[in-house]
Amino acid sequence: MPKSIAVAGKGGTGKSTIAAFLVLALKQRREGPILAVDADPDANLGTHLGMRVEQTVGDLREDILKNIHDFPAGMSKAQYMEAGLHEIIEEAEGFDLISMGRGEGSGCYCYLNSLIRKFSEDLLPSYKWLVMDNEAGLEHLSRRTTANIDVLITVVNDNPVSLNTAKTIDIITKDLKNEVRKKYIVTNMVRDERKEMLEERISQAGLDLFCDIPYDPAVPEALFNGGSLADIVESPIMNCIHKIIDVIGGQHGGS
C-alpha cells in the first residue's frame, strides 16, 4: 500500500496549496508513482498542479445512474464503473490525479459507492504515495473517508478559529487511532510578529507544531498569471514540505 498523507484544516488555511506542493516535492525527488486525490467537491488541486480536470468520480456516479438502462450491450454496472474510473484518472508527468467531486445526492448510491471503494482499493497498490486534499468541513473525518492514512497534516493560520478547528480535528481523529497513524500541525502564512504567540497557543492546546510555512508572494503571482505551483518549485514553502516527506520515510532521490 502507498504511504499516505492527508491535508485538513479550516477553509482558506492553505490545504490545497500544501497538498499540491507535497505532490510536486515527491515528483522532484522521484518518489513516484504518486496519486493525488482531490477529495474537495469544490475541486481545485488540479488547478494548483496545472491540470484541467474533465470528470470527477461524482460525475461518473451520476452518469451511471442516469444511463443505467442504456449501457452498452453486455456491459455490467461494475465494468462500466471500472472503465470510467480508469478514464477519470488524469495522468500528468510524474503523478496521477483523481478528483472525487460532489458527494451523493438523493439517488440510490450504496452499490455504486461500494464499487468505487473496491476499485479505488484495487488501484492503490500500484502507487508508492498518496496525497489527499480535503474539503474544509470536518464531516469527511467523521465519515471516515480519511481512513488508513499515515500522516494527517492539519493546517493552522493566524485566524484563531483555525486553531479551534485543529483541536476539533485532533479530537475526532483520536477515535480513529488505527486509521490515522501520525498527526502534525503545520502553520501557514503567519506574520512574523505573531509566530511566537501562535506557537504558544498550539502547545497550550496540546498539539505539536511540526513546521512553519512562510507566505510566498510567488504563489498568488503564479496563479494570477494563469500558471501553477509547478512553476515555482523553488519556493521557500518547500523546506517544510520536504521535512514532512522525510519524517514519513521518503528517500532523498535525485531531482
Ligand X SMILES: Nc1ncnc2c1ncn2[C@@H]1O[C@H](COP(=O)(O)OP(=O)(O)OP(=O)(O)O)[C@@H](O)[C@H]1O
Q: Cβ closer to Mg ion: 77 or 102?
A: 102
Which of these, 197, 159, 52, 165, lies nearest to 185 by C-alpha position? 165
**Ordered DSSP codes for the chain:** --EEEEEEESTTSSHHHHHHHHHHHHHHTT---EEEEE--SS--HHHHTT------HHHHHHHHHHTTT-PPTT--HHHHHHHHHHHHSEEETTEEEEE--S---SS--HHHHHHHHHHHHHHGGG-SEEEEE--SSSHHHHTTTT-SEEEEEEEE-SSHHHHHHHHHHHHHHHTTTTTEEEEEEEEES--HHHHHHHHHHHHHTT--EEEEE---THHHHHHHTT--GGGGTTSTTHHHHHHHHHHHT------
Q: Please pick, from the candidates 189, 190, 198, 240, the single residue that binds ligand X as defined by CB under 6 A.
A: 189
Quick check: 15 binds ligand X (CB under 6 A)?
yes
CB 210 within 8 A of CB 184: yes
Selected range binding ligand X among 13-21, 52-60, 179-187, 198-206, rule: CB under 6 A: 13-21
- Shortest Cβ 37–Mg ion spacing (Å): 13
Partner interacting with residue 230 (select from ligand X, Mg ion, none; CB below 5-8 Å by kind): none
Q: Please pick, from the candidates 13, 28, 99, 165, the single residue that binds ligand X as defined by CB under 6 A.
A: 13
Partner interacting with residue 188 (select from ligand X, Mg ion, none; CB below 5-8 Å by kind): ligand X
Quick check: 188 binds ligand X (CB under 6 A)?
yes
Angle at 6 between CA 3 and CA 12, to 5 degrees: 155
Quick check: 220 binds ligand X (CB under 6 A)?
yes
Quick check: 211 binds ligand X (CB under 6 A)?
no
Q: What part of residues 8-37 is at the interface with Mg ion (CB under 5 A)?
A: 15-16
Selected range binding ligand X among 68-76, 115-123, 124-132, 215-223, rule: CB under 6 A: 215-223
Q: Please pick, from the candidates 81, 85, 131, 237, the single residue that binds ligand X as defined by CB under 6 A.
A: 237
Quick check: 140 binds ligand X (CB under 6 A)?
no
Contact string 195-224 vs Mg ion (x = CB under 5 A):
------------------------------
Residues that bind ligand X (CB under 6 A): 9, 11-17, 40, 136, 188-189, 213, 215-216, 219-220, 223, 237
Residues that bind Mg ion (CB under 5 A): 15-16
